[in-house]
Structure 1
């Protein structure tokens, strides 16, 4: 809901709403898949909405993009081949390519218009699109993973919207089967997993479906995200086996800048709050 000065988003699953003071609509496009809108705001920079739901703000997107990327990449022993499913705003791709050991990063998003709008209104997120290691595909991510050669990927990052519409197929056993097969034995799957405060049922269901596909180890990492419902978000990591201990020394010695992620933040996120651990059976 938008009036002349504010954009409000009611989020039925959590019985809550969030609002941003806006300066006006900057752009809009109806793609074959969804409506994408860009608003200016007084305090949060540009906002991107998809089908009326806020996807990102210029002010706080780094929290999400860093936490969906760096914990998984520093947990893997030596990630070289990364696949991003979704992620059309390209912020996750930018973070992945900060790791010099990554040899290739494929981003597969079904909607090219998300990337084109990001290039226009969030150019800072797209600054690595021309990296020779980057491959940008505009295709069905479910089909891409189904056709991915077995044992060919080190890290799969599922940077998706909520589990409705075009993203609905990214939260079930069939998709996770494809991820499991494509990942090497030491590979890591990481997916955005909504609010650990109000949507623990969804996180449990995700982890159950991942388990049906063969993943045996899981870790849900929470982090602040003011622009999303409840102000608290998470990513869930899954492995075929092994632990989620990470390369602490490498994280501390990283040669690139981050705004939120540090080795200490990472270690703190591994400490699961008791109510989350109880709900997830940890």
Structure 2
């Protein structure tokens, strides 16, 4: 099995991906970065042997964390991405010509630099877009001090271990809410509820204390094993109730050509399985 990478994120569940060719393997001050090629998923990025993104299925994750809040909002101009060093989230946000400025806060400059070299298909030139401002900083520290005014905040964090742990705290979410403009939307990645129910429950408990509208929505991403992934949703506005017809009009006007997202998928993503509903406080 030396030519296989085994991910052991969960105590009673593991997945393995074949290492067809290792392109990069190095430790930074924060984590061990690895990029390898896989016959099904193309280039795969792992941090500490946990899959973060792949060329094959990254579009699902990135589209659902960007197009859902941006099209629901309808007038988002300023967007903040916390994390997202591979550039995939910025790529999708910047597909919206209506967005005038994106602040991307990434703790590890090494992730950005090697992603440009080893995973250029993820960013697709996003780092060169003049609308993008890259800030190398701890996301929690930035959110505590930013002047805010963001229409959408996207928390593209790793799992709540190591450097990403602080991005799952009540304090961080409180600071993020303060950084939202009126009617703004906060979305977060919250793992796979079948295997990480506590992660979703804790976030939803914090969201319910902060926002008038707090829930989650879902999408299935093959390399995030264990079932559909949950994305936290928090806002004081009514954007979750945007009619399908309005979403369709906004989608058409945006001129998007997505891999996964459609306005119909957008609406359906908020229909939660019973076991996920039980994760909500």
Aligned equivalents of 2:254, 2:271: Cα separation in 1: 22
- SS of 2:166's partner is helix
Match of 2:80 in 1: 83
Aligned equivalents of 1:279, 1:109: Cα separation in 2: 29
Aligned equivalents of 1:235, 1:207: Cα separation in 2: 10
Match of 1:109 in 2: 106
Choose from 212, 215, 220 the match for 1:219. Answer: 215
CA contact (8 A) 1:26 1:38 kept: yes
CA contact (8 A) 2:4 2:18 kept: yes
Aligned equivalents of 1:40, 1:155: Cα separation in 2: 33
CA contact (8 A) 1:65 1:95 kept: yes
Choose from 90, 93, 106 the match for 1:93. Answer: 90
Q: CA RMSD in A?
A: 1.6
Matches within 5 A, 1:4-153: 4-13=2-11, 15-126=12-123, 127-150=125-148, 152-153=149-150
Structure 2: tracts of 5 or more residues without a match: none
* Count of matched residue pairs: 276
Aligned equivalents of 1:244, 1:93: Cα separation in 2: 22
Aligned equivalents of 2:227, 2:44: Cα separation in 1: 16
Question: What is the deviation of 1:173?
Answer: 1.2
Matches within 5 A, 1:198-217: 198-212=195-209, 214-217=210-213
Structure 1: tracts of 5 or more residues without a match: none
Scaled by the length of structure 2, what TM-score is found?
Answer: 0.93
Query: Runs of at least 4 residues of structure 1 off by over 4 A?
Result: none
Match of 2:267 in 1: 267
Aligned equivalents of 2:37, 2:135: Cα separation in 1: 28
